[in-house]
Amino acid sequence: MRARSLTPAIKAKRTPLIIERDYPDGAEFTCCYCEQRFISGHPRWKKTWEHLDNHRENEELSNLKWAHKYCNIKKKTFTDYQIMAREFIKKNQEWQNAFDFEEFLRERKIKQPTEEQTEIELNTAHVQKTVEFLAEKITDEEPEYPLDDAIYCITARCRKETGHGSSQASRNYIKELCCSEGLYKIEKKRGKNYIVRRNAL
């Protein structure tokens, strides 16, 4: 029977925990046996998933570590690495007993929001920027503001503060605020579009 290898799903699930356990505080990724760094794509020095107990079907976190392809093969005949592997399993189990998995997952969720959440948050932030910009620029004394400049200013502000922003999106946010129920409207004056405050009824 051919031994199956770790699926991408299992690897994705184990990777953040391996990094947390074996490479804390941004430590460089190195081989668990020789402690030298990995060279991606290299036949000998690329990173492989090491099964410490030599059973490939054992996909438990405590049985997994990262090693060079070369060191992974060398272990089959090299007693020192076999002894190290047994020690690693023990240490990994101890680590797991002490590790707060729930807290880790909670923090990861905060740090890495899903794509969908990020998009909603960005939209909200950008609409907020648009509202602020118009309130700031369109006043009783200055009741109009050129549309094109507003689009580019709002886009620039969004990009500066959130790292995202597009003139198309800014145009849409302005249009929403200038809809027939909005506080503003767009008027053409002297051949140019202006954002104008709607007169209070």
Amino acid at 70: Y
Measured CA to CA, the distance from residue 199 to residue 144 in angstroms comes to 12
The yes or no reply on residue 84 touching Zn ion (CB under 5 A) is no
Taking the complex as a whole, how short is the minimal distance between the CB of residue 34 and Zn ion, in angstroms? 3
Taking the complex as a whole, how short is the minimal distance between the CB of residue 20 and Zn ion, in angstroms? 21
Question: Total residues contacting Zn ion (rule CB under 5 A)?
Answer: 5
In 78-175 the beta strands, taken as DSSP E runs, fall at 144-146
Phi, then psi, of 187 in degrees rounded to 5: -130, 140
- Answer for which of 31, 151, 158, 174 binds Zn ion (CB under 5 A) is 31
For Zn ion, the closer CB: 38 or 173 = 38
Q: Which residues pair with 194 in a beta bridge?
A: 146, 187
Give the interface segment with Zn ion, choosing from 60-68, 143-151, 173-181, 193-201 (CB under 5 A): 60-68
Q: Which of 22, 13, 24 is nearest to 105 (CA)?
A: 13
Read off the tokens for 58: 């054992």
Q: Which residues pair with 188 in a beta bridge?
A: 193
**Radius of gyration of the chain measured on its C-alpha atoms:** 28
For Zn ion, the closer CB: 72 or 170 = 72
Exposure b/e, 121-136, CB count within 10 A at least 16 = b:
ebeeebbebbeebbee
The tokens 């190290």 sit on which residue? 84
The yes or no reply on residue 68 touching Zn ion (CB under 5 A) is yes
The total number of residues shown for the chain amounts to 201
The yes or no reply on residue 34 touching Zn ion (CB under 5 A) is yes
Give the interface segment with Zn ion, choosing from 12-20, 71-79, 86-94, 97-105 (CB under 5 A): 71-79
For Zn ion, the closer CB: 17 or 34 = 34
For Zn ion, the closer CB: 63 or 130 = 63
Would you give the DSSP letter of residue 196? E
Measured CA to CA, the distance from residue 116 to residue 3 in angstroms comes to 38
- Answer for which of 61, 71, 138, 158 binds Zn ion (CB under 5 A) is 71
Taking the complex as a whole, how short is the minimal distance between the CB of residue 94 and Zn ion, in angstroms? 23
For Zn ion, the closer CB: 64 or 71 = 71
- The closest residue (CB) to Zn ion is 31
The yes or no reply on residue 85 touching Zn ion (CB under 5 A) is no
Residues near Zn ion, by CB under 5 A: 31, 33-34, 68, 71
